[in-house]
Structure 1
Amino acid sequence: MISTSAYLYLSPKLPPAEDYRNVRLVNPLRIYSADDKLIAEFGEVRRDPVKYNDIPQLLVDALIASEDTRFYQHNGVDLKALGRSVLGILSGNPSGGGSTLTMQLAKNISFEGESPYSRKFKEILLALKIERELNKEEILELYLNRIFFGISAYGVSAASSQFYNKTPNELSLSEMAMLIALLPAPNTINPLRSEQRALTYRNRVLRRMLELSMITQSQFNEANDTPLTAQRYGVEIEVEAPYIAEMVRLDMEARYGSLAITDGFEVYTTVNSETQAQASQALTDGLENYDRNHGYRGPENHMRPSNSDDDVDMWLSILARTVTIGDQEPAFVQQISERSLLALLKTGESITIEWDGIRWAKQFINNSTWTSSPRTAGEVVDVGDLIRVSRNSENRWMLSQVPAVNGSLVSINPNNGAILALAGGYDFYQSNFNRVTQARRQPGSNFKPFLYAAALENGYTAASLINDAPLDRSDYRPENFGGEFLGPISLKYALTNSKNLVSLRLYDALGDDLVMPYIARFGLNEAEFPRNDLTVAIGSHALTPMAVASAYTVFANGGYQVQPYLIERIENFNDGNVYQAQPALVCQACEASFDPENQQDPSFYPAPRVIDEDVAYIMNTMLRSVITNGSGRRINREIGRSDLAGKTGTTNDNFDLWFSGFNGDMVTTVYIGFDSPQTLGRDEQAATVAVPIWIDFMEDALNGMPINSMAQPDGIVTVRINPETGFRAQPNEEGAIFEVFREESQPLEADNANALNDPNSLEDENDLF
């Protein structure tokens, strides 16, 4: 009577057949590059569920021998074994056991957190239901894809990969038996934790298989005598891009919550694996070069040697707990010669560092001061020093140190906003602070092009003259970098040579009401900028490198606004393609004909034009002049492409160093600075630190790509002018240059439109330039 009542009560609460026929197997979040290389994997691993036909018969036999020898005879419930289990529960002494494979599967599907009696009864009912609706092979397939094998492996495919780096079909008999032996207590029997216990349980499975004639005596002997070979294998990461991986993970969790790392999502990013590797390497090399140039800060620790064998054991113990940062390994100094040293790695290997790998280590005093070069290794290190070592470009060991400075690099496709590469810092595992998206720092002169574009849009030309002269202020006197003043100079010359006073006068002449709405066209948040603050003109308002790079895409693509994006598409293990990016695309030819009310292709959205194409072209020529004649001249020497343009930025006391540059295919911004703001050194500028990093990246990234610079629009004319007056030059006038103008703004011989602005109309802080 009680059993009948329980059945009538519990039976309607059993899950419907589709809940276990089409069960959503937990799969990790996987993140890929645009060229299908694995960047990261997050979440529980129950990957690559297998079909029954792909499961080796010996593995099935091992499972049945260990867990349910009467699997093919019962209808889901083994009454004899179950009776023992139920009696144990009722008597208060549960003995375990009694569950068939089908009942274990039923438990795995449902009934968490219920009383033992209720749970067991529901398991029985669901097991019977499963056996009626699935055949034995389907039950085994579902079981072997769901069951927990320990650590983070759910399913036999995950377990095979995790412990043996194999597929199920590649497992040996001893390996199959070891995996099946884990099932009663995966964490307790784990071969990585207790080898002897695991060996005992594995051999029990083999013995049971022999007793049931599933294997021969010779198979048993060979497998039984085989030592354990299990190891902890992880997934093979093909692209080192942890900052990108974290950006995607956060985005996915915002979209899907906790399902993001359990529902089998595969995210394909816009990042190219080769370009990403070039970005990471360029930033790493640049930060390390800066750091070495400013001297050696000394060992991370020192353990006084006792001159006994115990020293090595002590050092190895400390090294085992010291993480590798970037490519810099920890090591202890064992011996010192006059111009070499012997160092102990955590592997126990001793390496020799020759003088070429030590001689750089002048003693650091501060960011602007260091001692002269050392003459011997003993001036640099002592025995017992905990140091960092790495390999140089010739694969030789050298003394190194983790940079105190940090920075970022981001590269964007200006034609659709796709992020091509992103390095958010020196080492993600040392600091997961993403300096591309989270660091808000003053851009200095990196901001000036947006102001100059506003001027061009409002009647100024590249040849307009503004007085580069001191401002008459009682409270302070702003200056140019270097302290010199040149008098009347053209806008193009002022931008090329980053003249602060010209930018200040320009901002004052235009005014907040004109400048602020204009810079918003570049995607910058107008509301964040202070009003009535002339220092905005020279980059005093903090921006992220992502915001700066995104704003520069408007120059690179000829005047259109695109939005940076990282996720190209999202696929789901259970549901297929669930998201496809639809970025706005730069399309000059279709701009005029686009009709949003009559759109033929719903996946195409033309990017909106935000600045006049004539203005964009003139700005390209002015920023090209920075490369040929200004602070970016090193780019012209080392890369030599005719399609590159950009602008440096250096802030007060050299706290922040920037370079943003582009061609028609890529916009790249490099930012360098300390996380806790301080000077990078009195002699450091963007041209000496940020520009070399930009060069290292762009030279590789653009290798083999055709020249791609903005075509001259129909509304642009080229005029030969006198650079000192801005007027059209006479036919035989010496020193004349060619300059580009909007057709309606070209100078005439007697034009007085370039009259000087009032030299005393502005004020500003004197160090931004």
Structure 2
Amino acid sequence: MSEEQNSRLYNENNDYGERDYAPRKPGKKKKRKESGGHVGRRILQVLGTLLLVGLCTGAILCCFAAVYIKTVIIPEAGAVDLSQFAVGENSVMYYMDQDTGNYRELVTLAAEENAEWVNYEDIPEDLINATVAIEDRRFWEHNGVDWKRTAAAILYMFTGQDIQGGSTITQQLIKNLTQYDDVTVKRKVIEIFRALQFDKDYTKETTLEWYLNFIWLGDRCRGVGAAAMNYFGKPVQELTLAECASLISITNNPTIYGPYSDAVFTNSETGEQKTARDKNKERQELVLWSMLDQGYITQEEYDEAVAQELVFDRAAGESTPSTIYSWYEEQVISDVKDDLKAQYGYSDEAVSLLLTRGGLSIYTCVDPDVQAQVEQIYSDRTNLDYTSSSGQQLQSAITVIDNETGNLVGIAGRVGEKTGNLWMNFATDSKRQPGSSIKPLSVYAPAFEMGLISPISVLDDYPHEVMGGRPWPVNVDGRYRGLVTVRQALSNSYNTVSVRVLADLVTPENSFNFVEEHFHLDLEDGVEIGGQMKSDIGVAPLSMGGLTYGVNTRDMAEAFAVFPNGGLYQKSRTYTKVTREVDGVETVLLENQPESEAVLKSETAYYVNSILREVVTRVNTSGNFDSGMAIAGKTGTTDDKYDRWFVGYTPYYTAAVWVGFEQNERVPASGNPALKMWTLVMSGVHEGLEDRKFSEPAGLTTVTYCLDSGLLATDYCRMDPRGDRTARGTVFQGDAPTEFCTSHTAETTVTVCLDCPILDGNGEETGLYHLAGEFCPEESRQEVSLLGYQREDVGGASAEDAKYFLGVTQEAGPCTVHTTAQPDPDLPFDPNQPWDPSDPWNPNTNPLDPTGQGGGGAADPGQEDPDAPQGGETEDPSGTDPIINPETGRPYGY
């Protein structure tokens, strides 16, 4: 055979095209080829081995899969019980009439979605066929799972594409009913098991009925019943084939295909623009083609439906009026939704429909009088009429809690008339920095609880450390007062003392745990933000309220209500229970039992109440409502003035108020606008209520203590240059001091001259005096007890009490006014003038002649000199020279 023939033969039997063929060249003799049978046996051995390995591996994997399915998938893939989602009647909220104790209707819910249940027999056949044709063409044949589509979805996964597709109408319904919709393999497997069971439990007709009543069709429409009225202005039973295809097209993506969507789509290549109605028409024709292709309609029906003009009930983008819920009603809806999802695993869609058409009875905790007062103040924009430089209007939120029950009885999420639903609710949806309002919770309550301080304890209002090259922290007014009591520090919100208590006594770790466990505020223990780690476990966040995320008014009201409740924490409620009538029997779906916990000693609560009452007295909250009502509270302001707070309470109610802008800007209002809003609401809420006081636990005692040491006062404490430094304080017996003051003692007591004040650098009197000297007259002398306190310098900062330290007066030295002996007005001569014996007739130099008449002798010749030496003569024999007293340098008697 020639080389050309060999090459041709090769190409005729080769699928891969032409290639050069070269005949074997002569060379070494090749080994004899193995027989075909031997090669076959080797191949079979290899294949057998591979098959055995595969079978073993598959068996192992199957075992693992079986165990996983049994222990993980099946327990989570429990059957879906449609009876839990029974729909039909409207849901109603009720409130308790405080006068009668009976429940009255508050509002009938339409929720944020429109829904109208349509039974299967009332759904047009064209709509059912359109749904099956475009969503699940083998719906009537499969057992809840379309294995062909599922296999395709698995292929997508193994080729690196998204895990998508493959879901049947049954699976989509289950996903809508439950909240288990993670895009994971586990979710798909659970969904498959649930769908298989669901298809066994329910008919195909039931599945379609529920699916078409549950699908989201945009523009606040849940289900085809509401959507038909919304888009075409007619019951779903009256829809034409064209309208059925248009309606079911929306569910793919209401933003793209919704007739009322104002979205516009531009072709990047041609620049052509299409509206959502254009896109709806395109998809409608796809649905109609699918129906034609699958034999649901004829060509004539298809052509007629495509040609029909779609007439919608409203213009694109036009909104419809809806029920406007109060802030309280919206909060109830939100709380019930969360609890239904948590307890039953319902999806948002299922809960929304249940609230709308589930026939629920929701028993709320609202106090209509309180809520009416809240709405009256918060709907009036003139009560907080401030606008920022960028044009934002100042906002505020309030939460009011009944101390006795722990119920949330009033709430407002914004200022101004509420004209819509689902607005940003600053009372519960937004977290803001609390500033100093957190101090009672994070600093003083734990310190009191741990027995580290009492209200009469004394700490230094002075910087704690140098930070950024400057003394830190600073107080709002930029002053440092020095030694102050805890009562003064908290009531005046001194940052310095707050930092000292937390950093040196409580510790940040203990404070963080205390706030979370006792007051149930959700703090952050560590998170990365912008490449930096942030945490609330720190001195600055906990002592001055600069938290990672912040708090809301509901959190703060719940926390502060612990104090008037004597240390009892109660989780606030907006409803007590949710029921539904099933077969004539009222069934309880949610039982919202009160949750309470003793988190503070009553002694701690008493201390905080007594101090925070002084805050209110200082800021004069409407003269304590012009009555004897006990009121306590704490203000809060952030360093940047973005957030203003007042959280206050009476024996009846606790209310937390926040004021600020939606986008952070400096609050321009003078004073504290949060306090103003609090007073406007609470003064009305308490109108007509009997005056009450906070409770006092047993074991209180009153002591007289020193304001500069916190210890038992002594007489030295009353000798302070500033005046009497003693005070009467009420503490519990275990906190009463047992030692005497160490700031004012005999060692710190000195005599000063009141005629010689100590001057400052400007020549102004400081209120202190130089030490008295030997020549200072008695009437100018005064004993004072100075402060024996050693303060370590921090960044060169000065405190106002530093000038009263003992060392300051000692350094100033003795009196500079009285440097020589002063004349005695009762003496007839100047004691500073030396006696001149040579001039006996001068009364200034001759004390024996005070009359100036000349001669010697005593002033009263008939009286003996009592100071003359006994048994000796008082003058020399000549009778002219007096005898001199060697101690005074003067004649005896003078």
TM class, shorter-chain normalised?
A: 0.5 to 0.7
The CA deviation string for residues 31-51 of structure 1, in whole angstroms up to 9 with x for no partner, is 45555311742244559x9xx
Q: Which residue of 1 aligns with 2:542?
A: 536
Q: Which residue of 2 aligns with 1:469?
A: 462
Aligned pair in 2 of structure 1 residues 555, 234: CA closer, same or farther (>3 Å)?
A: same
Gaps of 5+ in 2: 1-80, 97-103, 141-212, 214-218, 244-318, 526-534, 719-723, 745-786, 798-894
Q: Which residue of 2 aligns with 1:413?
A: 402
Q: Which residue of 2 aligns with 1:680?
A: 667
Q: Bigger CA drift: 557-566 or 709-718?
A: 709-718
Superposition map of 1:477-556 within 5 A: 477=471, 478-510=473-505, 511-520=507-516, 521-525=518-522, 527-528=524-525, 529-541=535-547, 542-545=549-552, 546-556=554-564
1:445 to 419, 436, 451: 436
Letter in 1 for 2:573: Y
Offset at 1:431? 7.5
Q: Which residue of 2 aligns with 1:262?
A: 353
Alpha-carbon distance in 2 for matches of 1:154, 1:531: 49
Q: Which residue of 2 aligns with 1:701?
A: 685
- Native 8 Å contact 1:38 1:237 kept in 2: no
Offset at 1:762? 8.5
- Native 8 Å contact 2:340 2:590 kept in 1: no
Q: Which residue of 1 aligns with 2:105?
A: 36
2:88 to 26, 30, 33: 26
- Native 8 Å contact 1:469 1:759 kept in 2: no
Matched, 1:563 2:552: no
Q: Which residue of 1 aligns with 2:385?
A: 291
2:635 to 648, 662, 669: 648
The CA deviation string for residues 447-480 of structure 1, in whole angstroms up to 9 with x for no partner, is 1112111222223110111121345526222321
Higher relative contact order (CA 8 A, sep 6+): 1
Q: Which residue of 1 aligns with 2:22?
A: none
Alpha-carbon distance in 1 for matches of 2:524, 2:733: 34
- Match of 2:519, SS state, is coil
Aligned pair in 2 of structure 1 residues 635, 444: CA closer, same or farther (>3 Å)?
A: farther
Gaps of 5+ in 1: 1-18, 50-100, 121-145, 164-178, 189-231, 295-363, 368-401, 586-606
Alpha-carbon distance in 1 for matches of 2:426, 2:666: 18
- Native 8 Å contact 1:468 1:488 kept in 2: yes
The CA deviation string for residues 610-655 of structure 1, in whole angstroms up to 9 with x for no partner, is 11111111111011111113xx323435454432111000111311
Letter in 2 for 1:515: S
Matched, 1:671 2:658: yes
Offset at 1:490? 0.9
Aligned pair in 2 of structure 1 residues 20, 499: CA closer, same or farther (>3 Å)?
A: closer
Alpha-carbon distance in 1 for matches of 2:452, 2:220: 68
- Native 8 Å contact 1:639 1:695 kept in 2: no
Alpha-carbon distance in 2 for matches of 1:534, 1:102: 63
Aligned pair in 2 of structure 1 residues 550, 115: CA closer, same or farther (>3 Å)?
A: closer
Alpha-carbon distance in 2 for matches of 1:634, 1:245: 31
Superposition map of 1:219-230 within 5 A: none
Alpha-carbon distance in 2 for matches of 1:20, 1:516: 45
- Native 8 Å contact 1:654 1:684 kept in 2: no
- Native 8 Å contact 1:32 1:39 kept in 2: no
The CA deviation string for residues 536-570 of structure 1, in whole angstroms up to 9 with x for no partner, is 21111242222222211221211122222323211
- Native 8 Å contact 2:327 2:411 kept in 1: no
Q: Which residue of 1 aligns with 2:369?
A: 274
Aligned pair in 2 of structure 1 residues 46, 180: CA closer, same or farther (>3 Å)?
A: closer
Aligned pair in 2 of structure 1 residues 738, 470: CA closer, same or farther (>3 Å)?
A: same
Letter in 2 for 1:466: L
Alpha-carbon distance in 2 for matches of 1:106, 1:583: 46
1:627 to 612, 616, 619: 616
Letter in 2 for 1:684: S
Alpha-carbon distance in 2 for matches of 1:44, 1:446: 42
Alpha-carbon distance in 2 for matches of 1:103, 1:526: 54
- Match of 1:647, SS state, is strand
Alpha-carbon distance in 2 for matches of 1:636, 1:410: 22
Offset at 1:690? 0.4
Superposition map of 1:722-761 within 5 A: 722-728=706-712, 737-748=727-738, 750=740
Offset at 1:106? 10
Alpha-carbon distance in 2 for matches of 1:30, 1:707: 37
Q: Which residue of 1 aligns with 2:605?
A: 616
Letter in 2 for 1:424: G
Aligned pair in 2 of structure 1 residues 495, 240: CA closer, same or farther (>3 Å)?
A: closer
- Native 8 Å contact 1:465 1:491 kept in 2: yes
- Native 8 Å contact 1:239 1:273 kept in 2: no
Aligned pair in 2 of structure 1 residues 233, 703: CA closer, same or farther (>3 Å)?
A: farther
- Native 8 Å contact 2:706 2:741 kept in 1: no
Offset at 1:689? 0.4
Alpha-carbon distance in 2 for matches of 1:504, 1:456: 15
Alpha-carbon distance in 2 for matches of 1:20, 1:608: 38
Letter in 2 for 1:619: V
- Native 8 Å contact 1:504 1:535 kept in 2: no
Letter in 2 for 1:464: S
Q: How many residues align?
A: 489
Alpha-carbon distance in 2 for matches of 1:675, 1:739: 44
Aligned pair in 2 of structure 1 residues 711, 730: CA closer, same or farther (>3 Å)?
A: farther
Aligned pair in 2 of structure 1 residues 652, 119: CA closer, same or farther (>3 Å)?
A: closer
Alpha-carbon distance in 1 for matches of 2:363, 2:427: 20
Alpha-carbon distance in 2 for matches of 1:757, 1:550: 42
Decide which structure has the larger Cα Rg and report it: 2
Alpha-carbon distance in 1 for matches of 2:604, 2:664: 36
Taking every aligned residue pair, what percent have the same amino acid on both sides? 21
Letter in 1 for 2:673: V
- Match of 1:564, SS state, is coil
Alpha-carbon distance in 2 for matches of 1:638, 1:21: 53
Q: Which residue of 2 aligns with 1:335?
A: none
Offset at 1:105? 8.3
Aligned pair in 2 of structure 1 residues 115, 486: CA closer, same or farther (>3 Å)?
A: closer
Aligned pair in 2 of structure 1 residues 288, 761: CA closer, same or farther (>3 Å)?
A: farther
Q: Bigger CA drift: 748-757 or 515-524?
A: 748-757
Alpha-carbon distance in 1 for matches of 2:220, 2:435: 50
The CA deviation string for residues 587-618 of structure 1, in whole angstroms up to 9 with x for no partner, is xxxxxxxxxxxxxxxxxxxx321111111111
- Native 8 Å contact 2:396 2:659 kept in 1: yes
Letter in 2 for 1:259: A
Letter in 2 for 1:522: F
- Native 8 Å contact 1:446 1:658 kept in 2: yes
Superposition map of 1:83-482 within 5 A: 104=122, 113=131, 184-185=238-239, 239=326, 241=328, 243-244=330-331, 247-248=334-335, 250-251=337-338, 254-255=341-342, 256-257=346-347, 258-263=349-354, 264=358, 265-285=360-380, 288-292=382-386, 366=389, 404-426=393-415, 429=420, 432-450=423-441, 451-457=443-449, 458-471=451-464, 473=466, 475-477=469-471, 478-482=473-477
Alpha-carbon distance in 1 for matches of 2:790, 2:591: 50
- Match of 2:484, SS state, is strand
- Match of 1:409, SS state, is strand
Alpha-carbon distance in 2 for matches of 1:414, 1:260: 31
1:718 to 702, 714, 721: 702
Alpha-carbon distance in 2 for matches of 1:472, 1:676: 33
- Native 8 Å contact 1:466 1:490 kept in 2: yes
- Native 8 Å contact 2:93 2:364 kept in 1: yes
- Match of 2:578, SS state, is strand
